[in-house]
Amino acid sequence: MWHPEVDNSEVKVYSRPEKGTELVVIRAIAIVDDAEPDPLFTFFTSKAGFKVIDPACTNHDDPPFREWSEREEVAYSRAPMQPPVRPRTFLVANIVDPAERLFVSKSILDDALPPGDDGAVRAVNSFVLRTGAAPGGGSSLEILDYVDLRGDDCPVQASNTWHVHSFVPEMLQRLRAEIAAGALDAGRML
C-alpha cells in the first residue's frame, strides 16, 4: 500500500516499504506546466538531464562499458557522499524508449566488474521516469525509484528520509531552473 508523504502544488510523493527490508520505494507525480512531454523527455535523457536527476553522480562523465544501441547501455556511475559516508558506485543498465517516453535505469551488484577496491560502496538503484501529456497542457512526470545505499556508514532511516522528502522535490527545483534558463530549447541539450 502506498503512503502519502509529500503533497503540495508541485509534487505528490508516495512511499511503500520494500518487502523484507527497512527500505522504501517511492512513487512521485508532478505536473510541469511549462514543458511539453517530448522535449521534457529528450532533456531528461540527455547529459544535462541526467545531472538534473542526480547532480552528484558521474554517470555520463565516462563512456559506457557497452552500448547496444544509441539508447541502451551499461555504464558505471560514482556518487560522492558527505563524510563520514563513503562514496557510492553503481553499475547500471540504462534503457530509453522514446516512443513511450520511458527511461529505465537498473543497477546490479557484481563484484567481478569495476570499480574494484577503492573504498567506495557498491549501491543498488532502480529508477523509472516517464513523461506524458498533462490535462490542460504541459507535462506529467512520473517517477518510481528504489535505492539501497548499502554499507554501515549510512543509516537506512536517514536514507529513507532523504529519498522520500528531498530527492524528487530537489530534482524538480533543478528542472525548473533549467527550464527557466532555456535548457529545453532545441540545440541546448548536450
**Does residue 185 lie within any of the structural domains?**
no
> Looking at residue 155, which CATH number applies to its domain?
3.30.530.20
Over residues 91-117, the pLDDT tens digits come to 888 889 999 999 999 998 876 665 566
**Does residue 105 lie within any of the structural domains?**
yes
Q: Cis check for the bond before 84: say yes or no (omega within 30 of 0).
A: yes
Over residues 44-93, the pLDDT tens digits come to 988 889 889 988 776 555 555 554 556 666 777 888 888 999 998 888 88
Domain count for the chain: 1
**Does residue 187 lie within any of the structural domains?**
no
Name the 3-class secondary structure at 186: coil
**Does residue 58 lie within any of the structural domains?**
yes
**Does the pTM of the predicted model rise above 0.75?**
yes
Rounded to 5°, angle at Cα 13 from 31 and 102: 60
**Does residue 133 lie within any of the structural domains?**
yes
Task: Show the domain range for 103.
Answer: 3-180
pLDDT greater than 50 at residue 190: no
